[in-house]
Structure 1
Amino acid sequence: MRQVIKKLLHLPASFPDITIHLPHRAGGLGALELARVAAECQLKAFARLQRLNSSTIDAVLEGSLMDCRGALGDSLGVPHAISGAEEVFAAVDGARKEHWRQWKARYSNSSLFAFEGDRLGNRWLRPGAGHMGDGDKIKSLRLRTNLFPTRTLSNKHAADPRARLCRRCGQKEETASTYSRSVHLSRPRVARVTIT
């Protein structure tokens, strides 16, 4: 079944069974997980065979293929007892939506920038953010403190002396102490923006 899907999408047979993205504007289907689509097609084919009500097909299904259908149903999260076309379609569609919801929830917390809308909170420390690695947690801490490479550090060795001047007063060379202590606050503090 996977090879048939690859033929339909004009992909080589050696293409891996992973999640791929085919853009809608290029006539694609969006995010597509080949292994899951193949399993859904097989499950729908089994349900269609069950609806034929043929004694020969029922004997073959009961004999060797029912275990395969059960494994497909378990992997997709679809009940075993249903065989009606509308029921199977609704169950597969619901299982697909739940799968992508879990997939998005898993990967939405996987990087430092997932919490860019919550710069001052500690939401990234909660158990729901368990997919963040230790390096990302360290970077999150640095973003909330003065340890992150700021304009002061990045322009320290700039050839143009004007690049090292303070953003607020434009007179002294900008350092952490100048920026935080001695320069008069002429406008409100600028929020740090995370570029993704």
Structure 2
Amino acid sequence: MALALDMLAIALAQLASFSERRVYNVIGPHDWEEKGAETTLFLTPHPGLHSGLMIAQYVAASLVNEIKVLAHPASIDSIPTSAGMEDFVSMGVTSAHKLCRIIEQTQQVLAIELLCAAQLLDFRLPLAPGEGVKKAKDLVRQHVTTLKEDRVLSYDIEKLVQLIQSGQVAEIE
């Protein structure tokens, strides 16, 4: 059991890492301006005046950093117990506890990605996304409004975490 839990933790660490990198790539122009792509720094209509989603990317990066630490397998270590009668302990409980935290944090990173993706699509209007992407954006917008000026983002992120947990995002076809 411990090995399976540890492997799932590692897989989720990769998922969260990929998600954060996508967030990083959409919040800043990087070299896109040279390529002619239309975007706004930190996905705010007023960069310099407002922070936009800059702090959301900081949060995602911080979460991924902790996820990577937590993803270190507990199953590779063992401490004998019961006066040496149990010489191998699977550490499955430790793996399970770490995995629960990784799941929570991965959901937060994915929520931040949804927030940033919806905001990016708002900036790309009138260009229309594909049908599935439009459904995802519309679902996000039912719960979180477009960011026009700075506000506390933790409420938006929590709403999107709840949306992810509800299974509605996964059900989009």
**TM exceeding 0.5:** no
So what's the TM-score if we normalise by structure 2?
0.30
So what's the TM-score if we normalise by structure 1?
0.28
Flag the structure with higher strand content.
1
Greater relative CO, 1 or 2 (CA 8 Å, sep 6+): 2
Flag the structure with higher helix content.
2
